[in-house]
Structure 1
């Protein structure tokens, strides 16, 4: 077969693939509740009520482990043609122990609100993209350590209503004058799985679905 004869089917195949790509890219994202598969009210609060251990690891410095972690975020809408915008308004980690040689930590919380974008995927869940979250980890003495991540990507699983952040890179920053500087380490990673995520006021578990 000549190149000219091959050209037509190749062009047709390319156009089909482009169309499929455009369809996938334009898929809507919705936030619903389970059971019932009902769109959550808008605006609404999405929160985690249980978690596994929140771990912040600073190579060469120490590790912080907190047995309880939770978050709240405010979603303005329940459906979007692309990603659903939201705001992380609270994050708390308590019940902490650490191996930092100088510091002792009592817990961590969100220092300032952070932007979130939620996008449905084809795996039965969604992707939570958190931009520049800043955590303030208080110490037993005077001062605190502040940690930020340029982007924290979380994977949401509808079947288990869980949101997993795995090995998110972070760096320490001097967010306020009480930041403790070099004693906070040079950076590392943090991880946590929020094991029960709910949406709205009825306490039903969240599902993230395409349309």
Structure 2
């Protein structure tokens, strides 16, 4: 079966850093102001479905277009690298259109289950057992749901500075993950 608490914890922390739901609180609060209501349940369920679906068919989709997992993981390490740079330096490299609704787009995709998350899921698949990744995804979705439900309270408790500090810490963690992912997969490309 392959159930392993260490794998679940590591995969969970990687996904937590990539999803960066705490760092997204200002975006969620802004969305709530723009559209009035954030559909937390819908966003969480759709994000979970997207992530688990990609875990199982992501590799097949890549094979269909002629890309191996190692190449995707190396490309993904660049995405994670730039996401980490955004988090650490407080700059925005990726720009998105203003949303009309706040459930599927932009919450479920690309905020929760975006390119970085999908890349991480495939990269994790090459290192960890599937059951552990699914549990890590579900634990993260529960955290995402709780944060979406209580984003206003969390923002008041942490304040802008607190959120910025947390975002920078997870940015550094994500940067280290990107470097590790790159190093592990670049060797496999040449073997």
> One fold, TM greater than 0.5?
no
More helix by share: 2
Considering fraction of residues, name the structure with more strand. Answer: 1
Computing the radius of gyration from Cα coordinates, the structure with the larger value is 1
Q: Relative contact order (C-alpha < 8 Å, sep 6+): which is higher?
A: 2
